[in-house]
Chain A
């Protein structure tokens, strides 16, 4: 966090090139998070880039007492949610036709060799968006409930409920 703040201060002082260490540090986690949310590599690349561009343009508003990682995830999650909403409006009929029982094979699944892991990845893809987001932020990014609630802009209680339900669904599906 201290290192992040050092680079952020330099970017704020006009050294634009010093944004690159921040990109290097968080690009993979943000990309993975967005990819799991949108389940399309091209869209994920675009959304990740746009999230970083937004962060870069708004960096003067960033307060150092806040975690840059959480701030970046907030931007990325809001951007992803907006994208998914627009996509849903456009392709509502297409989405209804998705066969829930047939697991979606994402680009990540293709890389995973372990069958149980592959199954888990597929099951995560089948979760509702808010559950998926909560699971990824909690278990992959290891964020606290309070941080997830700030990122998603929902009360702590809601995050807890979503997390519990997501875990229950995953546990049951994995036990099958």
Chain B
């Protein structure tokens, strides 16, 4: 029997039977052993690198490293957030668009205008009040105002007393 080389067996395993006939080899003991050896060597289970291998390596290399699970979590979080934003936006758009008509829009703008006008007038009143308060800080002005207002009060009291009578004597003034 012709002596078989390892190259022949390699070719046989790769499906290239040019240099060898499979049937003739199958009775060969060495062929069987080698075939088994080659098949086993090819299917020899490997051992993956430890889980923290990449993290430690990137740390040593000064490369930023995001683990797969964190990437997945970030992606999932972002997709959930974007979905929520999209759904909320769509719902609010639908809600608003269902409410909007020409009258509601004009009403809305007039309301806004009124509110703004109220706010402006409040600010103006505030300004006047400030001026009044500041005016009272001048004692002479305060005395003058008190004097005038007391005379006015007396006049009002007098008038009210006269009003109780049936005839009002305007001549007195």
Contact = CB atoms under 8 A, between A and B. Distances in A.
B37 A19 contact: no
B30, B43, B45, B57: most-surrounded residue (chain A CB, <10 A):
B57
Size bin of chain B's contact surface? 20 to 34
Interface stretch (A46-54, A96-104, A150-158): A46-54
Interface string A118-151: 0011001000000000010001101000000000
B63 A164 contact: no
A139 B41 contact: yes
A78 interface: no
B38 interface: yes
A53 B61 contact: yes
B45 A111 contact: yes
Size bin of chain A's contact surface? 35 or more
9 contacts: A23-B57, A27-B54, A29-B46, A31-B48, A49-B53, A52-B61, A111-B47, A139-B38, A175-B33
Interface of B: 6, 30, 33-34, 36-38, 40-50, 53-54, 56-58, 60-65
Interface of A: 16-17, 19-20, 23-24, 27-29, 31-32, 35, 41, 45, 48-49, 52-53, 56, 107-108, 111-112, 116-117, 120-121, 124, 135, 139-140, 142, 163-164, 167, 170-171, 174-175
